[in-house]
Structures are given as C-alpha cells and as structure tokens.
C-alpha cells in the first residue's frame, strides 16, 4: 500500500472520530418520544450540531474512498477504525486539556496493535476490480446478517444490549460498504459515469450505506457510546478484511505465527477502542454533572 493511501486513511480516521463524537452527542439528546426508524433522523436533520457531524462524515468518506481506491481494503480499513483511538490527542487539544493517563495507554496499545497488524499481515496488492461472484455473495450475506441481527435487537431486554446488537448490524454493513466503495470507484475511473450509474454496486452501496447510518444513529440513541462504538468498528474491520480477501484476493501472510500476531494485534486495537469509548462516556457524565451544579 502506498504511503499516500495510508496517510489518507489516517486523515479519514481522525475526521470520522470527530464526526462520531458530534453525532452521538446530538442523538443522545433527542426527545424521548421519538419512535420509528425515520422519526429520529427527521429530528436530527434539523439540529445544527448533527449537520456538522454529517459534514465531517462526508469529508471523512471522501478521504476514505480515495484511500480505498489507492490501497488495499484489508489495510485501509483497520487504519480507519483505529482512528477513533488515535484521534484522542486531537480531541484533547480541542478541549484544551491534557489526555488522561488511561487515554494515553489506550492510544499506545491501539497504535502498537495497528503497527503490528500492518507489518504482520502485509497483504498482497490484490485486484483493482472485485471478482463478481464473491462480491455479490458477500454483499448478500452481509445484508442478510445485518437484517437478522437488527431484528433480533428488538427482542433484547435491555437498551445496552439492543445498542450492542445494532452496533454489530451497522458494523457488518459498513464493512460491506468499504468493499463496494472500492468497486464503484474502479468503475467510475475505468468505465465512466454511465456504467457506474447502471451497476448494481452503486445502488447497493447507496442503500446499504444509508441503512448503516440509520442503524448507527439508533444505536447511539439507545445507550452510551461504549455500548455500540467498539463492536461496530471491530466488526467493520473483520468484514472489510474478509471482503478484501475473497473479492479482491488481498491475501495476508497466513502462517501460524503471523496469524497469531494478526489476531493479537487486532485484539489490541479492540481494547483501545473499548477504553476510549468508556472514557468518553465518563467525560460526558462529568460535564453533565458540572452543568447541573451551575
């Protein structure tokens, strides 16, 4: 993967991290009486803070898409998901405070995990265009799995569990979307606008992408960020790597030693995500308590 693709993926990750925090703040303060899949979205589109989050998300998506076009799905996506942790110093600077010791530890653990994963996996460049049959099969499986998990969340007895399951569902869709973005950009650059508009990948990307955003907003609304954000990003990375392997033939090193290092490295990234999400929840609680005392 080129250094340009890696740099763009990191910039995308930091942008998405800011977007995530802003969107969650707006969603969790929505009125309790909102019900239905689109009532929450109708409320949020009128909130300036949420619109700022969407603007950041669009910028992050553009950077993300360019990185996927230039690099491998199985390398770009782990960088993007780990950016939630790696953006901690940026958020601390904006808040005009030093990072907490646990935040520094989380950053170091995630950064070490990401570095080890990228060095250990070192996937082959793979194909620029996906293999048609694996891409269609993985997209169908991903959409079906996300639908089933989303439906199961309705029967979860606690909001935190519902948020967790919705995070899994959204993570599956975002992982599939990453693979489809690379396919759509290949069509656009090699076959033109008309071929891109007529392709199943373009319309599937739009549908699944919108579904993932809606599901994600409901996960934010139901519970704390720590309930859905870590699992969403981990599942996103796993699905994207799987898509890259089967559809783009991006084959990582797969000897027992390298596989063990890759799994442990990904686990380190997950631990960093969990710690940061919990610390963000604690920080919001402290800010809320301080505002109530004024």
Residue 35 has a pLDDT of: 59
Q: What integer pLDDT is reported at residue 271 of this predicted model?
A: 86
Return the pLDDT at 34.
Answer: 60
Cβ atoms 230, 281 nearer than 8 A = no
pLDDT at position 32, please? 64
Looking at residue 124, its pLDDT comes to 75
Q: Using CA atoms, how far apart are residues 280 and 3, in angstroms rounded to an integer?
A: 31
Per-residue confidence (pLDDT) for residue 284, from 0 to 100: 64
The reported pLDDT for the residue numbered 239 is: 93
Closest-CA residue to 220 (of 29, 54, 18, 84):
29
57 contacts 220 by C-beta, under 8 angstroms: no
- Please state at what angle helix 159-190 crosses helix 200-222, rounded to 10 degrees: 160
Q: Which pLDDT score is estimated for 164?
A: 92
What is the 3-state secondary structure of 17-71? HHHHHHHHHHHHCCCCCCCCCCHHHHHHCCCHHHHHHHHHHHHHHHHHHHHHHHC
Per-residue pLDDT, 194: 92
For residue 76, give the 3-state DSSP assignment: helix
Question: What averages of pLDDT result for each successive group of 10 residues across the chain (294 residues)?
Answer: 78 80 66 63 76 85 89 86 69 66 82 84 82 95 96 88 93 95 93 92 95 88 80 89 91 85 88 80 65 58
């Amino acid at each position: 993967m080129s250094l340009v693709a890696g740099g763009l993926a990191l910039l995308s990750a930091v942008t998405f991290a800011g977007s995530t925090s802003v969107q969650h703040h707006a969603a969790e303060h929505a009125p309790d009486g909102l019900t239905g899949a689109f009532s929450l979205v109708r409320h949020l589109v009128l909130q300036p803070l949420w619109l700022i989050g969407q603007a950041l998300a669009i910028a992050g998506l553009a950077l993300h898409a360019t990185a996927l076009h230039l690099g491998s799905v199985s390398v770009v996506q782990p960088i993007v998901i780990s950016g939630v942790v790696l953006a901690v110093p940026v958020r601390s600077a904006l808040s005009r405070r030093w990072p907490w010791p646990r935040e520094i530890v989380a950053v170091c653990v995630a950064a070490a995990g990401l570095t080890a994963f990228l060095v250990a996996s070192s996937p082959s460049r793979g194909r620029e265009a996906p293999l048609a049959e694996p891409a269609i099969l993985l997209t169908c499986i991903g959409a079906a799995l996300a639908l089933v998990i989303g439906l199961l969340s309705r029967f979860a007895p606690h909001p935190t569990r519902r948020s967790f399951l919705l995070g899994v569902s959204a993570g599956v869709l975002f992982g599939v979307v990453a693979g489809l973005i690379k396919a759509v950009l290949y069509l656009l650059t090699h076959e033109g606008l008309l071929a891109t508009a007529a392709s199943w990948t373009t319309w599937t990307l739009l549908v699944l992408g919108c579904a993932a955003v809606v599901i994600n907003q409901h996960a934010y609304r139901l519970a704390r960020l720590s309930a859905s954000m870590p699992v969403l990003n981990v599942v996103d990375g796993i699905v994207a790597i799987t898509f890259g392997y089967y559809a783009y033939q991006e084959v990582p090193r797969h000897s027992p030693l390298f596989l063990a290092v890759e799994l442990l490295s990904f686990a380190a990234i997950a631990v960093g995500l969990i710690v940061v999400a919990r610390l963000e929840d604690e920080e919001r609680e402290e800010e809320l308590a301080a505002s109530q005392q004024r």
